[in-house]
Amino acid sequence: MKISELFRQNEFVLSVEIFPPKNEKGETTLQQTLEKLSRYNPAFISCTYGAGGSTREATFHWCDVIQQKYRQTATAHFTCVGFDRQQLCNWLSKARELGIENIMALRGDPPQGEEAFQTVEGGFSHANELVALIRSQFPEFGIGVAGYPETHPETPNPQTDLENLKRKVEAGADAVFTQLFFDNNKFFEFRSRYEKIGIAKPLVPGIMPITEFSRIQRITSMCGATIPEELASRLESVRDDKKAQFEIGVEHAIQQCRELKERGVPGIHFYVLNRTRACERILKALGFFVEDAASP
């Protein structure tokens, strides 16, 4: 089912995001993750697309597994990196042949070893161009795009970032899924500005439970998200205790999600990092318990 239909037909849309694993052990872990998460009947499961398109075939493979083996709706991430217009169309044609109905359209990160985004000859520089291509040449796809409550790291200021987002929506996006954040006030402030500038598409918060402090510090340093001082202090005090870090992080995420739901978000998009323990705890706390779901 397309993203636009999912939000039109459901009061709350649950979605999760996985990434293609790099080795056999990772594949086994991801299979187990998909088995468990599919029991919660997410509206869709999205699969990322590596920097520089490094996992483009793996993205197709795992979207196919999601749909054929686990009978879930897949959403394929897709970026502008390294492709000209014809190659972009070829990729989208293959996605259509595989029965993929939704695309998460992103500009993408530079390939490993490169500091700045480089546009290939005949290619695109911005996600709104990719959205426009999909909407004009492949109108059957549902389209999701990214939003940044704390501003994209490459954007000079929040207003410019929001104007860039509006261009993506006006090009044909069906919904906006945010970068991870740990302070709900950041999201609510962003939502207020989002609505004020005239964007009417669903704005879906992206949540990544903290399960290991050092890992989340690396992630936030790359994407520009901040960790509230009080939360960071609590995590720092148990830096040598991974179990305690997990408990603090999951409880924080539960409180985040409860408040977000109470304040009317249209859904939540979980970044699960190919593991289920934290996400299952949160889903059960939110009332998404499924009778035959595996325990955490």
Known catalytic residues? 17
227 in Cβ contact with 259 (< 8 Å): no
Residue 77 three-state SS: strand
Longest dimension (CA), the chain: 53
Give the H/E segment covering residue 78. Answer: strand 74-79
CA distance 197 to 193: 6
Residue of 221, 195, 190 lying closest to 206 (CA atoms): 190
Sequence-ordered list of residues with C-beta below 8 angstroms from that of 233, at least 6 positions apart, any chain: none
- Per-residue b/e over 114-136, b at no fewer than 16 CB within 10 Å? eeebeeeeebbebbbbbbbbbbe
- Per-residue b/e over 211-222, b at no fewer than 16 CB within 10 Å? bebeebeeebee
